[in-house]
Amino acid sequence: MLFKDIPGQDYVKQALIRSVHHNHVAHAQLFDGPAGGGTLALALAFATYINCEERLNDDACGHCASCVKMNKLVHPDLHSIFPIASSKKVGGNTSEAFLPLWREFVLESPYRVLPEWLDFINAENKQGNISVEEARNVLRKLALTSYEGEYKILIIWKPELMNIASANALLKILEEPPAKTLFILVSDQSDRLLTTILSRTQRVAVPAFDDDEVSDFLQKHHQVEESRARQIAYLCDGNLAEAKRMAKESPDDRQTWFADWMRSCYRNDVVHLVKLADAFDAMNKETQKGLFEYSLRLFRDMLVWTQGAGELLRVPGEELSFVQNFSKAVSINALEGMVGEVNEAYYHVERNVRAKMVFLDLSLTVAQLFKK
């Protein structure tokens, strides 16, 4: 993984490169950013850059022996810890046993989230965790001198899933680190880490990808047409894992569906609302949740528009005119009520309440809110 392979994040890349040039590389760093963002990719690119044998001013060379091994995640001085769970695929209770699967998983895409990893190893609804044995194994490995590179590098993905014992074991290593050893913690829930660990790491804030970066990534790497890519970028909030999942789904015209639903509610057309409820009931649960999520985003944009802050809107152009016109037909109090009702409907659908009943009840309630 090279810096140039990661969309955007220019400020973070430059800060990391400067730290190497000025020899100010902190021994423990926390790459902190949202789920599905560039934290793991940046950690791998940073590790590649540090041990590159023919380092360039702005990136690793990509062709030296170190870069070739890093590109395959087989460099002897790169160690990884990540959450694991008992699996039929692997017989072992440490990350080392899962390492071949981990390499395959990350090389497919570094913009991944924990549920994808647990599905990949067939964890069967078990929760992943990082055990104290992991920290002890790492301590033994890091006690040795580096084999080839300047630094021994340990990447800990999802460190917030360490239990108290494993967190305390890691803390001891961070307090007395071996020479020329770099710890990179990659987290999307840093608030769950022990404050003592946070105080011993240098935080690298990694922002979410913006809409243009997500859209360009989908068009370039997944051959998604521009209009579809922009709609996905609007919906995924910078989460590339979610964007990739949505790109694989059959496209649906959510804007048309939402407009039709709102017009039927506005007219209180019960006959058509029943037909929409039947259609909604026939959808799979993920599609149902996706439509509710889309509705919540548009309601949010309507609230923003009614408050005179239109410059903050991220809504794609084709939806913008609908947001502007719809906002004129409903009061702020009614919009707030609709948001609450959709949130409640989402909760019930997620817990397997009959979707037709939930949607029809929601539609009739929204119709009453229009009258207010």
Compute φ and ψ for 181, nearest 5 degrees.
-125, 135
Band (pLDDT 50/70/90 cuts) for residue 289 is: confident
Question: Residue 140 — φ and ψ, nearest 5°?
Answer: -65, -40
Does 360 have pLDDT greater than 90?
A: yes
Count of residues making up the chain = 372
* pLDDT on residue 146: 65
In the predicted model, what is the mean pLDDT of residues 290-307?
A: 83
Q: What is the pLDDT of residues 71-91, one digit of tens each?
A: 999 998 898 999 988 767 777
Query: Would the pTM count as exceeding 0.75?
Result: yes
Residue 151 predicted with pLDDT over 90: no
313 pLDDT band, cuts 50/70/90, is low
What pLDDT shows up at residue 20? 92
Which strands, in side-by-side order, build the sheet including 78-81? Answer: 78-81, 152-157, 181-187, 28-32, 202-205
- pLDDT band of residue 168 (cuts 50, 70, 90) is confident
Which of 91-100, 246-255, 286-295 is least confident?
A: 246-255
Task: Give the tokens for residue 71.
Answer: 């590109």
Q: What is the mean pLDDT of residues 340-359?
A: 93
Q: Which two tokens stand for residue 368?
A: 């009453």
Q: Are 238 and 210 in contact (CB under 8 A)?
A: yes
pLDDT-derived band at 59, boundaries 50, 70, 90: very high
Task: Quote the CA–CA distance of 124 and 122 in Å, as a whole number.
Answer: 5
Report the pLDDT value the prediction gives residue 270, as an integer from 0 to 100.
Answer: 94
Furthest CA-CA distance within the chain: 74
Mean pLDDT of the chain: 86
Yes or no: say if 243 and 218 are a contact pair by the CB < 8 Å rule: yes
Alpha helices per DSSP H over 23-175: 39-50, 65-71, 99-108, 114-120, 132-142, 164-175
**DSSP structure class, residue 177:** P
Residue 149 pLDDT: 66
pLDDT (mean) for 343-358: 92
pLDDT band per the 50, 70, 90 thresholds, residue 144:
low
Mean pLDDT, residues 153-182 taken together:
85
- pLDDT tens-digit profile of 97-123? 889 999 999 999 999 898 888 888 887
- pLDDT, tens digit (0-9, with 9 covering 90-100), for 1-42: 899 999 989 999 999 999 999 988 898 999 999 988 999 999
Give the mean pLDDT of 153-167.
88
Q: What pLDDT shows up at residue 322?
A: 74
Where does the chain have alpha helices with state H? 10-21, 39-50, 65-71, 99-108, 114-120, 132-142, 164-175, 195-198, 211-222, 226-236, 240-248, 254-267, 270-282, 285-306, 317-327, 332-350, 355-371
Q: Are 123 and 50 in contact (CB under 8 A)?
A: no
Please tell me the predicted confidence (pLDDT) of residue 30: 95
